Amino acid sequence: MKRIQTIFKWMTLLFFGIAISAMTFGQLIPIEFADWRHMHLFYDITLQGLPIAVLMTLTWTLKKDRPQKTNIAIGILTPTIAIGIFFLTLFLMFSYGFGAWVDEQIIYENKANPNVTIKKQLWDIGAFGYGGQRTVKLTPILEIWNWVEEIDTTEIQKDNWILVEREENIKFP
């Protein structure tokens, strides 16, 4: 039983660490998922898993050697927090769960490495339309993520880039 408690403890702490870092300082790091479907899956699992992870803390916070009043308080407070986090995730879904940067056009490809591209992107908010536009240099990391740098195409060294101007995920008639 002690081993199961230890496993649950480290699983929940790891999950909380990943979730909190992804929704706080992780937003400041210029690394994004290469595919918007992976991003949505990650945030869906994170947001829907938070209440479950809070309830999993019961397996390692309730202890026989604690006073009964303390265990009762933990037993009441933990599900209450889980319910509160569930409603908080409904609001967070609008920030993290919807919308993604979608490639509108590949403008340039790097001559030395064709996987490094300069793309024009739109912030796709689904049924709400498009919320913004940016031009970025995308450098792939392990084919899962991209290192993203906003770039001004008038200031690049044109001899290092091939002009392609090819439509991507958003097609215009």
Read off the pLDDT of each residue in 2-15 and give the average, rounded to a whole number: 85
Q: Using CA atoms, how far apart are residues 29 and 147, in angstroms rounded to an integer?
A: 9
Per-residue HEC secondary structure of the chain comes to: CHHHHHHHHHHHHHHHHHHHHHHCHHHCCCEEECCHHHHHHHHHHHHHHHHHHHHHCHHHHCCCCCCHHHHHHHHHHHHHHHHHHHHHHHHHHHHHHCCEEEEEEEEEEECCCCCCEEEEEEEECHHHCEEEEEEEEEEEECCCEEEEEECCHHHCCHHHEEEEEEECCCCCC
30-57 pLDDT, tens digit per residue, is: 998 988 888 888 888 888 888 888 878 8
Tens digits of residue pLDDT in 122-137: 887 766 667 788 899 9
Distance CA 93, CA 112 (A): 39
In terms of pLDDT, which residue wins out, 63 or 110? 110
Task: Kindly report the pTM of this predicted structure.
Answer: 0.72
Higher pLDDT pick, 90 / 95: 90
**Residue 4 above 60 pLDDT?**
yes
